[in-house]
A and B are shown apart, each in its own frame.
Chain A
Amino acid sequence: MDTILVVVEQREGKLNRVSWETITAGQAIAAQTGWTLEAAVVGSGVAAIAGEVAEKKVAKVYDIESAKLDPYTPDAFAHALQEFLEKHPAKLVLMPHTYQVRDFVPKLATALQTTAISDVIGVRYEGGKLLFTRQMFQGKFVADVSFAGSGPYFVTFQNGSFRADKVEAGAAAAPVETVNADVPDGVVRNKPQEIFKEAKQAVDLTQAEIIVSVGRGIKEQKNIELAKQLADALGGELAASRPICDNGWLPMDRQIGSSGQTVAPKLYLALGISGAIQHIVGMKGAKSIVAINKDSEAPIFEIADYAIVGNLFDIVPPLIEEVKKAKG
């Protein structure tokens, strides 16, 4: 029987909760294929995390340990997992599509002369073949992608594609096996320093109930003021997609998306935001989404509750007036 291995993510000795989504995905694939689901955690002194994962419905958990695995480096992680997978062959290796995973999985897959399908949002098992759905062209299209070759096949899942709260608990704790990884001197070439936050975040957008967010469609820095007026009228916070912050039009702490903040407000009003994947992952949890964009095919409309196709510069001024009127 084939094996599915979920490699959960830990950072600084703490389980990254997004790993539960990956376990949910693994459980769904195991149910469809009848394959065995196992999990692994990679690090130094991370047995507690292995124990936490063993409470879920998995056949076995491996605790892959080496002092060289702390702090994280792509060299050590790829080396330890390559060695592990050569001894414990898996058909399918699943991980969350985090920055850390993006940093070492292509290296690991290449070292094993195989490939990773990255940023996957869904899986289907049809006629004995696994099809993985991923977004392409910045979310304008999706593709069903299959593997060729003999594997192991690596898959990374986009945040939010599976529900962490749907992860099934096991009837009894799964066995945990400690594996001592042999990472020889010289393998690790990078010397990482402590992680840090750039500046104390001035604004915590995660607490905002209403967010007005601007994208490239705002065109010029001086037009930000228009969005600000709308945010003020609504009693909400102003935010932006990455390019706006890259340009310095708004400070970095107002950025929504994979490299910025992840928010779930009552209302997310997107002005001139096309809806690239990196932005969507930061706001798709919003209770309601309103999008104003001149491009009727902008991916943001796929997830919008209310959509207005048109020029934001025509629509926002009367919108501000109407909001003010409604609020009396």
Chain B
Amino acid sequence: MKILVCMKQVPQKDAPLKLNEAGTWIREDVSYEVNEPDAFALEEALRQKEKHTGEVVVVTAGPARASQVLREALAKGADRAIHLEDDTFVGLDAYNTARAIAAAIKDEKFDLIFTGLQSDDYGYAQTGVILAQILGLPHATIIMQVEKTDGGIRVKRELEAGFFQFVDMPLPAVLTIQSGINKLRYATLIGIKQAKMKPMRKVTMAEVQSAMGGNLQKIEKLYVPQKSKNTEFLEGTPAEVAKKLVDKLKNELRVI
């Protein structure tokens, strides 16, 4: 099985984020990490390769800093990487991101393409499905299990409120992977060493631009949400706030 995993670098979960001067994006001087569902997508690809042999290729679209995500993936066992490297990839809508990735892999034939189900920054939850449409491939979303069958694959889709569904599909196909589908591995020292020898192809904006267009949606303004509630902050030592809270629970919320 030849598997492509689309990965994204996003601000770290606990990173304190600040708005830029124009109020259109965040200040970029923060710590970054791999988008969590993408890490699970990579792990699933590595497990499929271990079961069925083949190749795992990782791709990202982002600035120079995003190569860190690819290096980590190579250290965990991916075979090679593709980096669409340009600062402007950060501001693309999902349609353009998918078009850029499709253009970068046009000479390759993958059996499976994995993405995380959504990103922790934009949260579009669209890029994988759009990529499938551009490539003319069937897709399934929010996947919790992937099994190879005689005619293709059987996947387990997560539905809402604790429901699931198995879906049989032909290959090649695109799957968006849900966090928690597997247990993530750590990179080994030898893996980190080997990663340095593995190929990383850089793709410039110029190489894919003809496949792209103007963004179809635009962030006019980014801002801190207005509070819909009057939040009362309880302050003091742990003992004091514990007392204050119990007073509220008892006398105002009346739940004790």
Q: Is A144 an interface residue when CB atoms closer than 8 A count as contact? A: yes
Q: Which B residues between 34 and 56 are near A, CB-CB below 8 angstroms?
A: none
Question: Is B162 within 8 A of A197, CB to CB?
Answer: yes
Q: How far apart sit A210 and B248, CA to CA, in the bound complex (Å)?
A: 14
Q: Are B160 and A242 in contact (CB under 8 A)?
A: no
A210: contacting residue among B168, B216, B255, CB under 8 A: B255
Q: Which residue of chain A has its CB nearest to the CB of B10?
A: A137
**Interface size of B in residues (CB-CB distance below 8 Å):** 80
Contact code string B165-207 (vs A, CB < 8 Å = 1, else 0): 1111110000000111000000000000000000000000000
Contact (A302, B256) CB under 8 Å given A114-B216, A144-B220, A195-B163: no
Binary interface encoding of chain B residues 205-249 relative to chain A, with 1 for a CB under 8 A from any of its CBs, else 0: 000000000111111111111011111111100110111011011
Partner of A145 from B95, B125, B138, B218 at Cβ < 8 Å: B218
A182 within 8 A of B: no
Kindly provide the distance from the CB of A154 to the nearest chain B CB, expressed in whole angstroms: 10
B95, chain A: closest CB distance, angstroms: 5
Query: With the chains together, A303 CA to B167 CA distance in Å?
Result: 38
Q: Does A180 contact B (CB under 8 A)?
A: no
How far is it, in angstroms, between the C-alpha of A98 and the C-alpha of B120 when the chains are bound? 18
- Across the A-B interface, how many residue pairs have beta carbons closer than 8 Å? 251
Identify the closest chain B residue to A287 (Cβ): B253
Q: Which A-chain residue is minimally distant from B142 (CB atoms)?
A: A99
- Which one of A107, A194, A216 has the greatest number of beta carbons of chain B within 10 Å? A107
Contact A305:B232 (CB < 8 A) given known A191-B167, A191-B168 = yes
26 contacts between A and B (CB under 8 A): A99-B158, A102-B129, A103-B141, A107-B129, A110-B134, A115-B94, A119-B125, A131-B220, A135-B225, A141-B19, A143-B223, A146-B220, A189-B138, A193-B167, A195-B165, A197-B163, A198-B162, A209-B255, A243-B179, A253-B162, A259-B178, A295-B14, A302-B228, A307-B233, A323-B256, A326-B250
User: Which residues on A are within 8 Å of B, measured CB to CB?
Assistant: 74-75, 78, 98-100, 102-107, 109-111, 114-119, 131, 134-149, 189-198, 201, 209-210, 216, 234, 242-243, 245-246, 252-253, 258-262, 266-267, 274, 277, 287-288, 290, 295, 297, 299, 301-311, 314-315, 317-319, 321-323, 325-327
